[in-house]
Every structure is written in structure tokens, then in C-alpha cells.
């Protein structure tokens, strides 16, 4: 059982991304609810349910060691008394890569427990490509 207390869902989310960047499995699992009803979906991955599957997926992901930075943008928060959902763009920079990666769209769901806020769902997928910008027109458009 984790002794770490997250007073807010945002504190829990900050700890999640810090553990991700540091490839710290114990810190990562401290963020998650100690419950079998947790769900994690990595980009293009299967749905993982329960402590064992979630822990094993993070263990495998962290095996290569820390090599990335994650910057969160476009956060939208939906709050309730016991539940909070964060929709974010994860902007990931990997050491040694010349070009930035396309952002991931992630949904993180947090539950208020007796031990503070804990993650119960993390679902990430590639963000759709930005639409191409319209070419500048030499003449103004007339609407009527």
C-alpha cells in the first residue's frame, strides 16, 4: 500500500507524469488506485485491467530507462466531488530524436479515496493530424 497522499487530482497527475519521465515504477504505481478496477490503454495498445497488467506494462515500458520529457498542453478538467477527468495533449520529446513527435491525446480519470486522489484510468492515443492551413487568397471573400 502506498503511503503517498495526493491532496488534489492535479497533484496525482503531476506525480504520474514525473514517474513517467523518470521511469520510476514504484512512483508510477503509487499514483494508481490500489484496486483491480483500474484501466490503462497505451497508444495503439490493448486495454489493460487490474494491478498486475498495469504494473507489468509500465515495467516493460520503463526497462529502457528514462529518455523522454512530457509537456502537458490543452488540459480540460471535468470535476466532481469524488471523480475528476483530465483530457490533455501529451507533447513528448525523446532524447536523440531530431524531430518532435506528434502529440498524444490522453484522458486521465482520478478517484478521491480515503488515501487521497488516485488514478483509475489512463487512455492515450495519437492526436489526429492538424488540418492543412488554407492558402491565403489575394481577393477578399464576400459572404453576401
* Nearest Cα to Cα of residue 66 among 107, 32, 38, 27: 27
- The pLDDT tens digits for 52-100 are 999 999 999 999 888 889 999 999 999 999 999 999 999 999 888 888 7
The answer to whether 27 touches 16, Cβ cutoff 8 Å, is no
Instruction: Count Cβ atoms below 10 Å from residue 61 Cβ, excluding itself.
Output: 14
Three-class secondary structure assignment of the chain: CCCCCECCHHHHHHHHHHHHHHCCHHHHHHHECCCCCCEEECCCCCEEEHHHHHHHHHHHHHCCCCCEEEEEEEEEEEECCCEEEEEEEEEEEECCCCCCCCCEEEEEEEEEECCEEEEEEEEEEECCCCCCCCCCCCCCCCCC
- With vertex at residue 139, the alpha carbon angle to CA 136 and CA 140, rounded to the nearest 5 degrees, is 90
Residue 52 neighbours by CB under 8 Å, 6+ apart? none
- What is the pTM assigned to this prediction? 0.84
pLDDT, residue 88, reads: 96
Distance CA 53, CA 59 (A): 10
pLDDT, residue 102, reads: 87
Instruction: Please give the domain boundaries of the chain with CATH numbers for all domains.
Output: 9-126 (3.10.450.50)
- The pLDDT tens digits for 85-144 are 999 999 999 888 888 788 999 999 999 999 899 999 999 999 887 654 555 555 555 555
pLDDT, residue 1, reads: 52
Amino acid at each position: 500500500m502506498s503511503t503517498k497522499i495526493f491532496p488534489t487530482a492535479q497533484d496525482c497527475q503531476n506525480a504520474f507524469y514525473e514517474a513517467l519521465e523518470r521511469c520510476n515504477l514504484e512512483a508510477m504505481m503509487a499514483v494508481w488506485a490500489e484496486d483491480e478496477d483500474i484501466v490503462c490503454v497505451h497508444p495503439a495498445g490493448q486495454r489493460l485491467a487490474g494491478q498486475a497488467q498495469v504494473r507489468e506494462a509500465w515495467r516493460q515500458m520503463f526497462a529502457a530507462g528514462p529518455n523522454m520529457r512530457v509537456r502537458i498542453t490543452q488540459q480540460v478538467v471535468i470535476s466532481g466531488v469524488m471523480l475528476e477527468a483530465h483530457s490533455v495533449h501529451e507533447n513528448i520529446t525523446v532524447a536523440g530524436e531530431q524531430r518532435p513527435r506528434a502529440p498524444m491525446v490522453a484522458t486521465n480519470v482520478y478517484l478521491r479515496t480515503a488515501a487521497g486522489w488516485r488514478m483509475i484510468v489512463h487512455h492515450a492515443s495519437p492526436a489526429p493530424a492538424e488540418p492543412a492551413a488554407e492558402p491565403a487568397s489575394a481577393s477578399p471573400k464576400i459572404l453576401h
